[in-house]
Structure 1
Amino acid sequence: MKADPKDQQRLLDLQAIDTTLQQLAHRRKVLPELAELDVLGRAIGVLEDERVRAEVEVDDLDRDITKLEREVDSVRQRRAKDQQRLDDGRLPARELTALEHEITSLTRRQTELEDAELELMEKRETAQGRLDGVDEKISVAREKRIAAETRRDEALTEITREIEWKQQARRPLAADLPGELVQLYEKIREQSGGLGAALVQHGRCGGCRLELFGADRNRVKTAPPDEVVRCEECRRIMIRTAESGL
């Protein structure tokens, strides 16, 4: 293929823009905020599961405490009635003795229930502390997520703006170059990881960085200026200038 040497050199300008666009696209995919948000998302998920467990524990303890409170109240009322009957003293001595035994038993039962209730309330306080601690961790993690989302959005906006600028600069440059040359360049770029044209410097291909030797070096050196020369190794378009060292 033939192309004006100046057009060939302008491929380097096009390549520079395309390389920048490729770098910007890569930056967009690997923003540190994306990784941070992924970590925060998983951490919040774990904390929310922990919160559910802590909340269930608190609810279970509340239910058990309520049940004990009802039992304590029932025993207290029954004991109060028995005590009233005992204080009246209108029952036969045998029944009064049985009533005294029952009051003693009820008093012991009330004490046992109140002790159990106190123990549950202590457990409930500990469980509530765990729940409050998890809520605080979730709140902190969510604040961090909001901050990371803000930084991510700002970075994405800036990258998008830079991409648009580069694309605007690329369009007239690509349109001004020979169509056949641009097509070849694009095809090579697609096949070679984004690099379609490279400057030959100090006798080395700028694409694969290999030094040219022997017949291959002579081939590149003696090719007409308007000949589109490609590297035998990486197949990229080799741009020759005064820096090529040939």
Structure 2
Amino acid sequence: MNAAPADQIRLLDLQAIDSKLDQLAHRRRSLPEHAEIDKVNADHTALKDLVVAAQAQHGDTTRELTKAEQDVEQVRARAARNQQRLDSGAITSPRDLENLQHEIGSLAKRQGDLEDVVLEVMERLESAQTRVTELGARLEHSTVVLTEAEGRRNAAYAEIDAEAEKVKRDREAVAAVIPADLMKVYSKLRETQGGVGAARLYQRRCEGCRTEFSITELNSIKAEPADKVVRCENCSRILVRTADSGV
């Protein structure tokens, strides 16, 4: 394959631009905010689950308190009715009076036990509310941290993308004057050779794979016509000869 020496040298300019684009893409993928966002997202998801569980516990305890208070009210109402019957004087049978007084006493004890239950449930409800409030505050803080991290990432994206757009325009200008067949070979080599399709021959070395050539190999390269597209025997990349290549 042949190409004008100037076009071959332009490949080095194109390679430098493509390497710059690769570096920008790597920088975009490797932003420290990615790891931070992943961690905060995981914490945020865990906190949301905890908030849901705490709210469910709070709801269950609220219903438990309502039921306990209703039980107390039922016992209190029944005791009040019995006391009213007792105070009315309508019951004259000694046995009935004794039974009623016994029931009033039992209801008083039952009411006391149920009121203890109400107090215990109220304490648990207060703890449940405290946990909901605490977890809600932590979730709100996590949301702020996540938003700030995403903002920093997006700002970094914008900076990198703006630079990449400028570099892409430079690439278009250089690529437009390189022959299509040479571009095709270069592009294919970039895909198979880790992003480097063309390398300079400098001080007996291929700058692509750092292989040092022998005098015999250099003389062989030197013997090739100036428009011959030389390939490195070691890495197969296009080996661009320049004024300081020594050949």
The TM-score, its normalising length taken from structure 1, stands at: 0.91
Map 1:127-206 to 2 at 5 A: 127-206=128-207
Residues 124-149 of structure 1 deviation map (CA, whole Å, 9 limit, x = unaligned): 11122222222112111111111122
Larger deviation, residues 140-149 vs 64-73: 140-149
Letter in 1 for 2:55: E
Question: Offset at 1:240?
Answer: 2.4
Question: Offset at 1:22?
Answer: 1.5
The CA RMSD measured in Å over matched residues stands at 1.9
Question: Offset at 1:222?
Answer: 3.6
Distance of 1:228 and 1:79 partners within structure 2: 108
Larger deviation, residues 225-234 vs 36-45: 36-45
1:60 matched to 2:60? The reply is: yes
Q: Provide the aligned length of Structure 1 versus Structure 2.
A: 246
Residues 24-47 of structure 1 deviation map (CA, whole Å, 9 limit, x = unaligned): 222233333233323322322222
Larger deviation, residues 81-90 vs 188-197: 81-90
Question: Offset at 1:57?
Answer: 0.8
Contact 1:3–1:227 (CA under 8 A) maintained in structure 2: yes
1:124 matched to 2:125? The reply is: yes
Distance of 2:89 and 2:217 partners within structure 1: 126
Larger deviation, residues 90-99 vs 115-124: 90-99
Q: Which residue of 1 aligns with 2:83?
A: 83
Where do 4+ consecutive residues of structure 1 move more than 6 Å?
none
Distance of 1:44 and 1:175 partners within structure 2: 49
Contact 1:89–1:96 (CA under 8 A) maintained in structure 2: no
Give the secondary structure class of the aligned counterpart of 2:199: strand
Contact 1:230–1:237 (CA under 8 A) maintained in structure 2: yes
Distance of 1:29 and 1:245 partners within structure 2: 39
Residues 204-227 of structure 1 deviation map (CA, whole Å, 9 limit, x = unaligned): 211111222354333234433332
Larger deviation, residues 20-29 vs 110-119: 20-29
5+ residue gaps, structure 1: none
Question: Offset at 1:242?
Answer: 4.3
Residues 16-69 of structure 1 deviation map (CA, whole Å, 9 limit, x = unaligned): 111111122222333332333233223222222222211111111111110011
Q: Which residue of 2 aligns with 1:16?
A: 16
Map 1:106-125 to 2 at 5 A: 106-125=107-126
The TM-score, its normalising length taken from structure 2, stands at: 0.91
Distance of 1:179 and 1:90 partners within structure 2: 116
Question: Offset at 1:245?
Answer: 5.1
Provide the identity percentage.
46
Q: Which residue of 1 aligns with 2:241?
A: 240
Distance of 2:245 and 2:90 partners within structure 1: 125
Distance of 2:108 and 2:218 partners within structure 1: 108
